[in-house]
Amino acid sequence: MKKSNLVLCVMSILLLVLSVPLHAEEIGRGVKVTYLGHAAFKLVSPNGVVIYLDPFLSGNPKTPPELKTVEKADLILVTHGHADHVGDTLAIAEKTNAKIVVIPELGRYLTRKGAKNVVGMNKGGTYTSHGMAITMVHALHSSSITEGDQVIYAGDPAGFVIRFENGFTVYHAGDTGLFGDMKLIGEIYKPDLSLLPIGSHFTMDPREATYAAKLLGSKYVIPMHYGTFPVLTGTAEEFVRLMTKEVPKTKVLVLKPGQMVQ
């Protein structure tokens, strides 16, 4: 083999090794899931459609700096009005022209603030876009926007079920306490992957999230909404310990902010 060919060969092998994701296991059948810290996720469909969920990025102490800037987004899904979930929604929508999918009351607030492309929907409804079915589901929480000393009504809090064009289904629970109808979400939408808050104080803790995982019966769970602020005391270690004991059929993927699975 010529020396230049050998160099090329070594370089291609290196490139191949470097491009293997951190979790070599295929979970998303071509759907890429990146954890951005707190409750923020970036999902990319097999066709390259980019979805941001609760994009709290610039003010998020856990988001890696290189992921705070968004170049492309097609859809932004926001579960409720709290600042650590609305986050950079307005700025990203303005820059990328992405549609913002939210409950109507929060949608009206965002429109008043300059958003041009808001899709207001409500719980139980499904919105179809880019070949994906996005269903808004219940969440047990509160929802409002604080401006100075004013608290503004932002509609109900929600969760989202996203069914991609290849059938792969992701459930983002939003901020929520445990509720029995998660069993229905499991039965009706059969999420392959559930994103569940475990931090306690404002949402479920690891014990309740383990019970939620049992009701949902999904193949994979990614814990979220923990460790961002000192008040969120639930830990991934405790969640993994409980899940291994009580819901061994569901695999827990503990992602560091910035880490991607597909």
Cβ distance to Zn ion smaller for residue 139 or 242: 139
What's the min distance (Å) between Cβ of 79 and Zn ion?
8
Instruction: Report the first-to-last Cα separation within the chain, whole angstroms.
Output: 36
2 burial type by CB count under 10 A (0-12 exposed, 13-18 middle, 19+ buried)? exposed
Q: Does residue 139 contact residue 157 with C-beta atoms inside 8 Å?
A: yes
Q: CB of 171: closest distance to Zn ion in angstroms? A: 17
Burial of 172 (0-12, 13-18, 19+ CB in 10 A): buried
Query: Cβ(205)–Cβ(237) under 8 Å?
Result: no
Cβ at position 93, least distance to Zn ion in Å? 20
Residue number, 82 or 172, with CB nearest to Zn ion: 82
Which of 175/208 has CB closer to Zn ion?
175
Q: Which is nearer to Zn ion, 82 or 163 (CB)?
A: 82
Contacts of 110 (CB under 8 A, 6+ apart): 86, 89, 90, 100, 102, 118
CB of 156 to Zn ion, least distance (A): 12
**Which residue, 121 or 145, is less far from Zn ion as judged by CB?**
145
Least CB distance to Zn ion at residue 24 (A)? 34
Residue 197 and residue 39 in contact, taking contact as beta carbons nearer than 8 Å: yes
Residues 93/76, Cβ–Cβ less than 8 Å: yes
Residue 252, exposed/middle/buried by CB under 10 A (0-12, 13-18, 19+)?
buried
| Binding residues for Zn ion (CB under 5 A) | 82, 175
